[in-house]
Amino acid sequence: MKGADPRVAQAEAARAAGRLAEAADLYRHITRDRPRDAHAHHMLGQVLHQLGELGEARRVIDKAAKLDPRNAEVHLTHARVLHAAGEGDGALTSFERARHMNPRLVLAHCGVATVHEQSGDLDKALAAVEQALGAERSHPYARVMRARLHRRAGELEPALAELDELVGEGLGVGQMFRVLFERARVLERLKRYDEAFETYAQANRVQSQTPPARAVHPDHIFALVSAFGTVGPAEWLDDPPADDGPAPAFLVGFDRSGTTMTEQILGAHPAVATTDERPLVHEAIRAMVAMFPRGTPFPTMLAALDRPQLAELRAAYRAAAERLWPKGKTLVDKFPLNILNAAFINRLFPESRMLVCLRDPRDVCLSCFFQEFAPNPATVNFFDLARTVALFNAVMGLYTEQRAWLTLPRLELRYERTVSEFEPACREMLDFLGLAWDDRVLNFHDPSKTGAPRRFVSTPSHEGVTSPVNTRAVGRWRRYGQRAELEGVGKVAEKLGYSGETR
């Protein structure tokens, strides 16, 4: 029996205490010893999902679903893992399967609603929310989703009333931060900016206390930036690779700098395929690390790669991208913080083209602080505005140093120009990628004009890219008065071509 193993209780205690890495190790041992234990595989999949280790989580939860195919909770976890990995169609299928098996499973209905909302189909999203509330009228998450859909429909007062009621119910941290983020968005739409800022700050404080957030160390990303910063100009930058096939294009930039909007614009072109933030470059980096002794410095690895190894790494990247890269199309690999991996990309695909999204750093940092992100080594820093600024300075400061010697062709795209001079900006992007003009890019937000189905967008920017381009978010920081933390972007802002003044 599954309860006979004392390690199960130890793993559950570790998970409940927020010691997720410890819980994952315990469950790994259990699943190795008991390979037919569906419950242990399911629990391991849940913990890995919380840790953001989505590749392993998917393998584990796939096995759990095979071992216990009639378990609606397993299919719910499977759907959540696929959703976190950006696989909207697969996630929707698994959410639908879970709620078909158990119509009382509220989170399965909510999952269906979330996928439809992120695809821009708000009518289907609302129908799924109503089914969730039919199963459990007072469920907090379903009510938050109903409030969100009210807000998106412009029904702000009903949304605020629902959220205020939820705030008064004393929910736990795992539910309360979602309520507070949504309440802050409504207050912002109502132009109650001081209240909105304080509510965003409160939402961040609450989310920072959740187990997934506490499991991630906020200094880890700074250590990575320091390691990547030891790479400098070198002879290998001019070492051409073997001509073994087409190279992808890379779309990078700090979070909330316009990368999702740019990806959606380019994705409306019939000759382009996009990735929706799949960590494809990370697969190639892991393959590179495995080629060298443990502890080999990053610059040493880059310099030591020979032609056969480069060919192997290019093949590893293409294998990871295969399902996303139809033959004959240009692949645009959008993963914002690949800007940290620019030297590796330059080494691996020096013939590739890189689009770099830039935006006023004050708007970027404030938008990151206001956004409800899943915790990872970068986003846990967004719980605090000062740390957000520090991370922006570290990441984009590194870019300002490296752009002087990187050799792959790059195009810097300023958000402010894209939204104010839309067609010229689009033409510049397509020209840079060597693509013919196509009017469909101007209507990327409207499937009826592009002839394509609604596109699932897994990132937090999904609301903004289902509407026509506008300038409402330009200078957003000014609505919130003088924030001392934002003064810290001054030097890097000037290097990027923006004024650092906050007055």
Which residues face 410 on adjacent strands? 354
Q: 323 in a domain, yes or no? A: yes
Show the beta-strand stretches assigned E in 222-275: 249-253, 272-274
pLDDT of 466 reads 60
pLDDT of 278 reads 87
pLDDT of 460 reads 57
DSSP character for 376?
A: -
Q: 43 in a domain, yes or no? A: no
Q: 18 in a domain, yes or no? A: no
Q: 349 in a domain, yes or no? A: yes
The predicted model gives 143-160 an average pLDDT of: 96
pLDDT of 16 reads 86
CATH for 227 = 3.40.50.300
Which residues face 195 on adjacent strands? none
Are residues 182 and 144 in contact, defined by beta-carbon separation less than 8 angstroms? yes
Give CA angle at 297 (246, 280), nearest 5°: 30
pLDDT of 236 reads 74
Give the C-alpha separation, 178 to 503, whole Å.
32
Residue 436: other Cβ atoms inside 10 A = 9
Residues 174-191 have pLDDT tens digits of 999 999 999 999 999 999
Residues 391-429 have pLDDT tens digits of 999 999 999 999 999 999 999 999 999 999 999 999 999
pLDDT of 450 reads 62
Give the C-alpha separation, 478 to 88, whole Å.
35
Residues 251-262 have pLDDT tens digits of 999 999 999 999
Q: Order of strands, edge to edge, in the sheet holding 330-334? A: 272-274, 330-334, 249-253, 353-358, 410-414
Q: 348 in a domain, yes or no? A: yes
Q: 232 in a domain, yes or no? A: yes
Q: pLDDT grade, residue 348 (50/70/90)?
A: very high
Q: 146 in a domain, yes or no? A: no
Structural domain count of the chain: 1
Q: Is 202 exposed, middle or buried (0-12, 13-18, 19+ CB in 10 A)?
A: middle
Q: 51 in a domain, yes or no? A: no
Q: What is the DSSP string of 348-366?
A: H-TT-EEEEEE--HHHHHH
pLDDT above 90 covers a percentage of the chain that reads: 78
Does residue 462 register a pLDDT over 60? no
Angstrom distances, CA of residue 301 to CA of 93, 232, 304, 426:
41, 13, 5, 37
The predicted model gives 356-363 an average pLDDT of: 97
pLDDT of 347 reads 92
- Provide the domain limits for residue 379: 220-479
Q: pLDDT grade, residue 87 (50/70/90)?
A: confident
